[in-house]
Structure 1
Amino acid sequence: MASKGAKPSGTGGKPARRPASKPVIVNPGTPAPKSGQYLPTKGGPEVTVPKGHRIPPTPNGGPSKLVDPTKNKSGK
């Protein structure tokens, strides 16, 4: 018989983890799939882009990565 403070076997005592989501990387000129802050991968300032608006050109060329998604239901 197990003692009072014993953990059930098989759980390992760790909470379930969500699988990591893929990073959102978008080329300039394409519509943003989500609202938020986009950072050019080759350097440059962050830009805020609403969902559906086109990603602006980057100073050094290359795609932009979503680094801070909007935390509201309209930008899903």
Structure 2
Amino acid sequence: CQMPNCRRTFSRPFNLKSHGLSHETRRPHGCPQCPKTFARIHDRDRHVKGHLPEKAHCCIVCLGRFARQDAVTRH
């Protein structure tokens, strides 16, 4: 990445361009459920899943339920 303090590197120009959007101050894609905004539609759509009432992914240790698999992994 060519931003100061960002050490991310990418082998494909598309990925570099997509990552560059995360550094943008303009965030035109708003969540319809809360005030959060996003530079990339993909990030907004992933965020919106967290508002869903169905929690299809489960932690096998504590049986906690999550809307997204990556949330279970982080948990």
Higher relative contact order (CA 8 A, sep 6+): 1
Select the structure that is richer in helix: 2
- Normalising by structure 1, report the TM-score: 0.19
- Normalising by structure 2, report the TM-score: 0.19
Larger radius of gyration: 1
Select the structure that is richer in strand: 1
